[in-house]
Amino acid sequence: MLKFDIAGMKTGLMEALFVECNEITTWLLSQVQGIAPSEVDRAQMGKEVFVIGGQVFGSVWAGGVGALTTEWGSGSLANESNPAWDEYVQSQYYNPSRQPYGHPISGRPAGSYVNLDGETKISTGRMEGLNLEGFLPPTPAQHWFQGIVERSRNEILERLVQVVQLFPFHNYIQSDGR
């Protein structure tokens, strides 16, 4: 008669995938740190590996306004295909005085506001609604982070498949000799 330790097998496989996911995210973070444009604050980069509902997830990020503007662009050159674009336009961070068409960088209304780095700034309102792109040139989208992920996809998938292929499933099957 054969006995299968399904719970042990599941735990063992989850642990193996967790270890590999941790190694992959460490490797991917090093790729991000190595190729990120100079405008990106390395202190706002990180990674996390976690388990939710029996599934292993890994996340690598680059935060701050430098990461955002080099990835998706700014002002009239901002790429509106950014999945967070609509949320951004509806958020407290968006300048309500920007022109709705083309979204050029423009002066803000008088008062305090919070920028994308979470810093509180004060505007006098003197330049409200004026196109400032002659002084503050817009940034074209570089999609450097997206490029790293796309170039890394095959290697990541191969590494995960290898973990499953090399996993010792036989260690969780026992026989009483009959």
Condensed to tens digits (0 to 9), the pLDDT of residues 18-74 reads: 999 999 999 999 999 999 999 999 999 999 999 898 888 999 999 989 999 999 999
Note the pLDDT of residue 91: 92
Report the alpha-carbon distance of residue 114 to residue 25 in Å, rounded: 31
CA torsion through residues 131, 135, 140, 141, sign: negative
Q: Which residues pair with 46 in a beta bridge?
A: 61
Residue 65 neighbours by CB under 8 Å, 6+ apart: 115, 116, 117
Residues 45 and 31 sit within 8 Å (Cβ to Cβ): no
Ramachandran bin of 54, using left for φ above 0, alpha for ψ from -120 to 50, beta for the remaining angles: left
Residues 82 and 69 sit within 8 Å (Cβ to Cβ): no
pTM of the model: 0.80
Predicted confidence (pLDDT) per residue in 101-110, tens digit:
888 999 999 9
